[in-house]
Structure 1
Amino acid sequence: MAALDDLRRAAGVEFDFAPGAQVPLSGADSGRTGVSHAIASVAYREGVAPDAIREPNDAAEVKSGKFSLLEPNLGEAFTRAIETRMLGDGRKPLIQSFGAEPQTVVEHCLAAKRIRRQRDRRLTIIMVVCGLLFLPGVLIWLGLFQLRRTLAGAQDRRAGVLGQALLALVAALIVFLVIRLPVDGVLRIYLWAVLPAPIAGWFLARQVAERTARNLHAHWSDLLGGGGTGARIPEAVPQNPNDKEAERLRVGLAKLAAEQSSNLTYYAGNQGILGMGVRWASWQLAEELRPRDPGRDIDPFRSWDVARAIHDQLRMLERGPLHTGGFPAPSITHWVVRHVGGAKEVSRPEGPNADAYSFSNIEVQRICNEQQYDSGDRHYLGVQFVLWDGELVVTMMISVTVLHHTLRIEVTAHALGPIHGFFRKKPEGKTKDVRNALKPWKMDKQPLPLVDAKEVVRLAARAPLTWFPARLDKLGGTLSLPEPFGLRHTWATTPWEHRFMVDDALRTATPVLRVAHAAALRVLEENGVDITPFESRSQALSGQVQTAEPKKADEYNM
């Protein structure tokens, strides 16, 4: 129980074991967006090398193992990488996935792992019966397949004519030696069965692997077709108060949800704000604070007063004088932004004013009022729109600073585009062209099994080692995800190639800018500030923003 208590405290949230807990399901309220399902579909992909994940982002690293026969496919490598990176003990902080639901992706990875583990249990039994009892024959066949893969040099290449001839010669020599061994009786019958027994096991293993492959393909197709069901992960439901592994998964999923709602985000130089995309434009209103009435000072106010007024007014963005649809309900958050540059790792909030993964409201107000210059975190008020079923994330960040007698209100626009098309690839069944018996001039498509001979051998060889994942990682290889890692921004593309997405991003800027200026001017007027220069500058910016065009603001044209 002490270990479970430590596990709960590490999450930053208190958990109590509740008898009769239900199986977690990914529902509509937990982020069933197209983006989440597209990313989760990779966990169900079979028959693809893990190197394919480098297509959407070449920063992913695929490490080869000692034996190519034990290397994972894309789905296995992706599932293992996601589970380790997002649920592993002592993992690094994650970047928020705006426009996607990371818990949904992780749940589908766990569901895919569960399907494969059920397959591996059956394959392990087959390996024990047909492999362990006839171990010499299994080693001979595995050696031949490993030799073939070594000659081929890659998972999807053939060994070539010379390689095939060499393999046939070696196999014939082994069969000849087995038959000619000078033994009699039961030992002779056993030796004659050494080579055929693994073949019978291979046939059974092929049936198991084919059923599982079709199941995985069905999940893959459903997720990309818009009809994906919730991921079932009953192993995350503790069966008793001492079920440490289930409690670890449950707490890990809770930590993931808490980190997703953190109010700390990171500015990474010309990459923009991680998770929100690059800054493509900015507008600044900076004028002198002068009293409206001669001989009387302005009433004292703070940056937080202006930021809070803008926050309250932004909540009215979804309302308008005409019933035209307009803005959906935005997400409005007071962000603490930390500069990380090109760092490969980010840090979580620290100090007495940090609660789990977020800064307290008091600390956010202090940063807004006091940390406007020199080193340290900065405060931004963000209004965010998640559009196109998560494919487009438009974020307007507003900062309020006061230096000497100058009040500056800066509005910057960030956009995160669609995920890479790699995640939209649907499963394709294997077929071959055959001539129609009744119409010889016509060719028909004949379906082929999803799992071929070499794939069955790979799965059977890996199955007993799946109970020792760390050892299997060393022998077969691993996939390392790009850092700093976040499910959404890691594989995002630019939105500027989609006309309607560009229109949505550009149209968002004008209303947000005008609301921010109107709310700020009201606070200034209430505190006795001469708003004449602010109004003039605001009107100029209001006209300028109508010609807003996407440009690389974070590169400063240098």
Structure 2
Amino acid sequence: MTQLDMTPGAQIPRTDVGPQTAATQALSSAAYRDGSFRELAAKLGATLKDGRFALFEPSVGEAFSRAVIDRTLPAKRLPLVPSHGTDARMVVEHCLAAQELRNARDRQLSLVTLVCGLLFLPGTLVWLAAFQVRAVAKKKLAPLKEKKVLSAKERRLSAEQSFFSTLALLVAFGIAALFAIRPPIGGPWSLYVRLMMVAPVVGWFIAKRICLRSTIDLRSRWGGLLDGGVVAATVPKAVPRDDLDRKAADLRASLERLTAEQETNIHHYAGKKGLLGTGMRWVTVEMNEDLRPAAGHADFRTFHRWDLAKKIAERLGGVAASELPGGTMPHVSVQHWVVQDLPEGADEIGRPGTPEMDGYRMRDFGIQQIANRQTIGTDTDANVAAQLVLHNGQVVATVIVKITILGSNLRVSAYGHALGPLNGLFTAKPKPKEVKIPKTGKFWEEKTVILPLVDDDEVVRQAIRAPFMKIPGLLVWLGGALVLPEPFCLRQAWTDPTWARRAMSDSVLYTAQPLFNAVQATTIEFLADHDVDVERFTNRSNISRSENQGVRPFKADVYDAG
């Protein structure tokens, strides 16, 4: 893994994030995307906050970047769920880079809007009213675009909205022509009346060139990320110019805080949502028997849960090795996690503020204390986690090992969790905008017409939003925003089910079995070393392995118990 970072000094973008490249770059590409932010609701099922004017609505990239930046970088924000299999900092840096590119474009558009729009405000308002009608019509027709067959009522609605959209522009053109040919007033003001309807059109032509150049740049970065190219996320604002540059220092500190939080070992279980950040539980493998001394021993040697947990963690760390050519498993990351229980509907997570914490991580002795005490009846437990990042980060497979001792009964449970691939919206590459229309003279045949990359409505939308780039709160109020789900995990918020893809499903199923076997084998060896009769445990392990020959994923956290 190559990660270039020279701190302090010139910022050199990181070019590789190891086995999680695909997921990281797919999420990063969303910052550069165009299209209406209504797609986020239609394709992701995301929650959107509606604005007051359809003309001010953000694009997909604008809404995504603003939502992620506002959620991850403020000094006073809610804790984040770690994004396994993803470099969250790189995604946020791409959001900052995309925002800076749009700000550079908006500075140029603001000048055009000021000269050609604000100075000729009466005419500008007429044109804006026409495009607002078109924006409202487009918003109403957006749900119909996903349908292949429309009902009679839907066809009538489509025709009505198209008519009103065209009529609004014709009215604006008529007023412009009337005022240009015969202004309603005479004298020196007649020249202003003539220009007030024409100047916004001139500004539109200038703005279109700016918008087109920006869109081509953003789409090239979007496509470059998905093609696996090296697209640098340069964030000059995070590099302090001197010791007094507090704004850059604060931004840099926020990014470092984000990186540190992703390495936390405090995790949260939220009912049917599963272990936050790792997905829902899909299988449970148990080995549960009473502890009895082995033959020839009056009693077995006592041990703590932490002793067995350490032994299991050591074995899982070496399970990837194979004596057979090509048999080596993908890298298995093994850690000791503290898991806290949350209600399924909780909208916030928390982490302890005790002396056992070192930043966002609990020190080993703190985890050991939790592991060695009785946790039945509490909301906190210590587990061993073995995690594999598969399919370039598109799948994260996790096995959680929980050890429970009640009286003389030992239960070793292994739970499989799976985090599926990102939604297809994030892996869709930029395509030319096109539409199919009937051929002239052969109406029963269709032809494909390539549409302009930036249409008239998009130019007006970008130009009217540009002057407010320094007031993001007002833009949200005017045009709306993306509402992120809480507790927020950058990776888990946009996933599709793992089990809808054959190769990914097999990867999760197959990689889990060696981990389950290693847990049970290590437990038996550990008990034998402590003079425990392992016959029953061995039988239980053999039965478990037999059952797992045909294991199928199921909703392990759904109990039909009333």
The corresponding residue for 1:256 is: 258
Q: Does 1:399 align with 2:399?
A: no
**Contact 2:67–2:484 under 8 Å retained in 1:** yes
What secondary structure is seen at the aligned counterpart in 2 of 1:94? coil
Alignment of 1:114-513 (within 5 A): 114-150=100-136, 153-154=139-140, 159-162=161-164, 164-165=166-167, 167-169=169-171, 171-173=173-175, 176=178, 179-185=182-188, 187-292=189-294, 296-342=298-344, 343-431=346-434, 447-513=450-516
1:37 paired residue number: 25
> Aligned partners of 1:544, 1:550: CA distance in 2, in Å?
13
Q: Which moved more, 1:530-539 or 1:116-125?
A: 530-539
Aligned AA (1:493): D
- Report the CA distance between 1:31 and its aligned residue: 6.9
Structure 1: tracts of 5 or more residues without a match: 1-16, 437-441
Cα deviations across residues 256-277 of structure 1 (Å, max 9, x unaligned)? 1111111011112122211212
Alpha-carbon contact 1:26-1:229 (below 8 Å) kept: no
Q: Distance in 1 between matches of 2:73 and 2:374?
A: 34
1:489–1:418 Cα change, 3 Å: same
2:78 counterpart (75, 89, 92): 92
- Structure 1 distance, partners of 2:85, 2:43, is 18
1:53 partnered with 2:40: yes
Separation (CA, whole Å) in 2 of partners of 1:168 and 1:434: 23
Q: How far did residue 97 of structure 1 move?
A: 1.3
2:554 paired residue number: 551
Give the corresponding residue for 1:6. none
Measure how far apart 1:150 and its partner are.
Answer: 3.9
User: Which residue is 1:72 aligned to?
Assistant: 58
The CA distance in 1 between the partners of 2:136 and 2:392, in whole Å, is 45
**Conserved in 2, the CA contact under 8 Å of 1:430 and 1:447?**
yes
2:524 alignment counterpart = 521
Deviations 1:280-317 (A, max 9, x none): 11121122222236673332210000000111111211
| Residues 206-256 of structure 1, C-alpha deviations (whole Å, 9 max, x = no match) | 000000011111111111222242211112111122222222221111111
Question: Does the CA-based 8 Å contact 1:286-1:407 persist in structure 2?
Answer: yes
Alignment-mate amino acid for residue 525 of structure 1:
A
Identical positions, percent? 36
Quickly say closer, same or farther: Cα 1:29–1:144, change in 2 above 3 A. closer
- Residues 20-60 of structure 1: CA distance to partner in whole angstroms, max 9, x if unpaired? x22251321477611111122221111x22121124542x2
Distance (Å, rounded) in 2 between the aligned partners of 1:260 and 1:393: 15
SS at match of 1:33: helix
Mapped contact 2:48–2:483 kept (Cα < 8 A): yes
CA distance, structure 2, for counterparts of residue 375 and residue 351 of structure 1:
17
1:461 aligns to what SS in structure 2?
Answer: helix
Q: What do residues 354-387 of structure 1 show as CA deviations (whole Å, max 9, x unaligned)?
A: 2221211111111111142002311110111111
Task: Report the CA distance between 1:445 and its aligned residue.
Answer: 6.1
Q: Look up the SS of the partner of 1:552 in the other structure.
A: coil
Give the Cα–Cα distance (whole angstroms) in 1 for the partners of residues 505 and 196 of structure 2: 66
SS at match of 1:96: coil
Matched residue SS, 1:133: helix
Deviation of the 1:542 alpha carbon: 2.5
Q: For 1:491, give the aligned amino acid.
A: W
The number of residue pairs the alignment matches comes to 534
| TM value normalised by structure 2 | 0.89
Deviation, 1:189, is: 2.1
CA contact (8 A) 1:49 1:155 kept: no
User: Structure 1: how far apart are the matches of 2:435 and 2:165?
Assistant: 25
**Paired letter, 2:316:** L
Report deviation, 1:18.
Answer: 6.3
1:28 and 2:16 matched: yes
Q: 2:98 aligns with which of 93, 104, 112?
A: 112
Query: What is the CA–CA distance in structure 1 between the aligned matches of 2:305 and 2:334, rounded to whole Å?
Result: 17
Q: Deviations over 1:38-87 (max 9, x none)?
A: 122221111x22121124542x2211112221111111111111111111
Unaligned runs of 5+ in 2: 1-5, 143-157, 440-444
Q: Residues 89, 61 of structure 1: CA spacing in aligned structure 2 closer, same or farther, 3 A cutoff?
A: farther
Residue 171 of structure 1 deviates from its aligned partner by 5.0
Q: Tell whether 2:88 aligns with 1:102.
A: yes
CA contact (8 A) 1:149 1:155 kept: no
Q: Deviations over 1:377-403 (max 9, x none)?
A: 111101111111111211111111211
> Is the 2:277–2:492 Cα contact (8 Å) retained in structure 1?
yes
How far does residue 148 in structure 1 lie from its aligned partner after superposition? Answer: 3.7
> 1:37·1:105 contact (CA, 8 Å) conserved in 2?
yes
Greater mean alpha carbon deviation, residues 188-197 or residues 99-108: 188-197
Correspondence for 2:3: none
Distance 1:443-1:294 versus aligned 2 partners, 3 A rule: closer
Seen in structure 2, the aligned counterparts of structure 1 residues 177 and 199 have a Cα distance that, compared at 3 Å, is: closer
Amino acid in structure 2 at the alignment position of 1:23: Q
* Cα distance, 1:232–1:401 mapped onto 2, change above 3 Å: same
Shift of the 211–89 alpha-carbon distance from structure 1 to 2, 3 Å rule, reads: same
Q: For the structure 1 residues 514 and 147, does the alpha-carbon distance in structure 2 shift closer, same or farther, using more than 3 Å as the test?
A: closer
2:481 counterpart SS class: strand
Asked if the contact 2:20/2:393 (under 8 Å) is kept, the reply is no
Q: Is the 8 A contact 2:52 2:477 kept in 1?
A: yes
